[in-house]
Structure 1
């Protein structure tokens, strides 16, 4: 068993230049993502990759693909997170959909990866100066 497996991308630049982290806080977040339709290689075990490749799925390394790129567009709606990166004139798109239609179902249950009816992709994306995330349960504070 692993941990939550959030997906964090360190972004540099801005004015003045200050690094920021864009963190997707979905459970096993990289397994929800595609890069130009390809699955994220680092997120799947070798056996899973072999099975998915046999069914026609392709994989791409997120680190190799995005390291040294420039974020040129970002879109975050209730249904979609889409980030477009560019390097040497070539663009690639990292995408996560709330309905999980682009990615395989959960390997354990076989159920599709999808957000609940009241959940939003906007709630799953955090921009942080440090990459550290803290959570608090407001209900616990009320009991004190």
Structure 2
């Protein structure tokens, strides 16, 4: 499921006494991201990785994010890390033992992915309606392939997840000024 409507915690700070355990720390304001271009990210260094960006107040839709200085490059897709492949391995795939996939980059407490990409710079970024490719300065490619066969499977049907006909990934990959992103 792609997300295209957002708010960010960037308004007036909420007093600590008024903050709930799952609420924002600042007033939420509407956020309309621009579509990502290579020019926005080329040459920028990856400082941090998140596999659980975004919140709806009770949990996380598990957006994928790369912190580039003060901005976050966000893939606003439910469970995005499971859709993303690098060197024929999913970044995160809770079903890999069952569907025969190679071991994912993030497996339990073992996170090979962050260690592999932190400190690298983005060389190029291409986002299309049903695919994405980020190439790092050493040639390492981070992708959402157009072929659903490379995507995670639904738990019940065991069929690969696919975009709906009217989905457009270009609306859900963007730079965000904060990791306090609400849907």
Per the normalisation by structure 1, the TM-score is 0.71
Q: Is the 8 A contact 2:126 2:134 kept in 1?
A: yes
Which runs of 5 or more residues in structure 2 are unaligned?
A: 1-58, 106-111
CA distance 1:80–1:124, shift in 2 (3 Å): same
The structure whose RCO (Cα within 8 Å, separation 6+) is larger is 2
Cα deviation, residue 57, structure 1: 2.1
Q: Distance in 1 between matches of 2:161 and 2:146?
A: 8
Match of 1:59 in 2: 104
1:127 matched to 2:168? The reply is no
Cα deviation, residue 34, structure 1: 0.3
Q: Is the 8 A contact 1:7 1:30 kept in 2?
A: yes
CA distance 1:51–1:76, shift in 2 (3 Å): same
Matches within 5 A, 1:38-49: 38-40=89-91, 43-45=92-94, 48-49=95-96
Q: Distance in 2 between matches of 1:76 and 1:21?
A: 16
Q: Is the 8 A contact 1:21 1:128 kept in 2?
A: yes
Q: Distance in 1 between matches of 2:152 and 2:120?
A: 27
Q: Distance in 2 between matches of 1:56 and 1:3?
A: 25
1:83 matched to 2:134? The reply is yes
Match of 2:152 in 1: 104
CA distance 1:44–1:102, shift in 2 (3 Å): closer
| 62-71 or 99-108, which deviates more | 99-108
Q: Is the 8 A contact 1:98 1:121 kept in 2?
A: no
CA distance 1:56–1:119, shift in 2 (3 Å): closer
Which runs of 5 or more residues in structure 1 are unaligned?
A: 13-18, 136-144
* Paired residues, number: 119
